[in-house]
Amino acid sequence: MKKIVFMIVQIAGLFALTYIGEFIADLLHLPIPGTLIGMGLLYLALHLGIVKTEWFAAGADTLIGNLLLFFVPAAVGIMNFTSTFVSDGIWMLAVLAGSMIAVLYSIVALTVWIRKHQKRIKGALKCY
């Protein structure tokens, strides 16, 4: 029971950071989603040592383990737009395929560039 309560508190902490990020985005009228600001705050707090990884590990593992459940409402919502998929489905597939090819090409090009300049990159990182 204690383990479950601890996990719930961790998940509540993650949600609190999300809501703080939403509040900051609304307050400052930023074009960035509050969830990204919340993740940035969590990263900053972890990096600066304000919070420890163990404080959120069990809750984050639980959320990641059940991630598929978060996509079910989106998949059901897509069913409301079948007429759109029938009329524009070919164009949507073309855009998806094109963007996938562009991302894959970018990753390959970046990997080849890094491999080519690996010695110079390692030398530059030694000063840190």
- Mean pLDDT by runs of 10 across the 128 residues of the chain is 84 89 91 89 87 83 80 77 82 92 96 85 62
What is the per-residue pLDDT for 126?
A: 62
| Cα-based torsion angle of the residue sequence 54, 60, 62, 63 in order, rounded to the nearest 10 degrees | 170
What is the per-residue pLDDT for 123?
A: 67
What is the per-residue pLDDT for 124?
A: 63
Predicted TM-score of the model (pTM): 0.53
- 110: tokens are 């970046």
What is the per-residue pLDDT for 116?
A: 87
What is the per-residue pLDDT for 82?
A: 79
What is the per-residue pLDDT for 70?
A: 76
What's the one-letter identity of residue 104? L
What is the per-residue pLDDT for 88?
A: 84
Question: What single string gives the DSSP state of each residue in 57-112?
Answer: HHHHHHHHHTHHHHHHHHHHHHGGGHHHHHHHHHHHHHHHHHHHHHHHHHHHHHHH
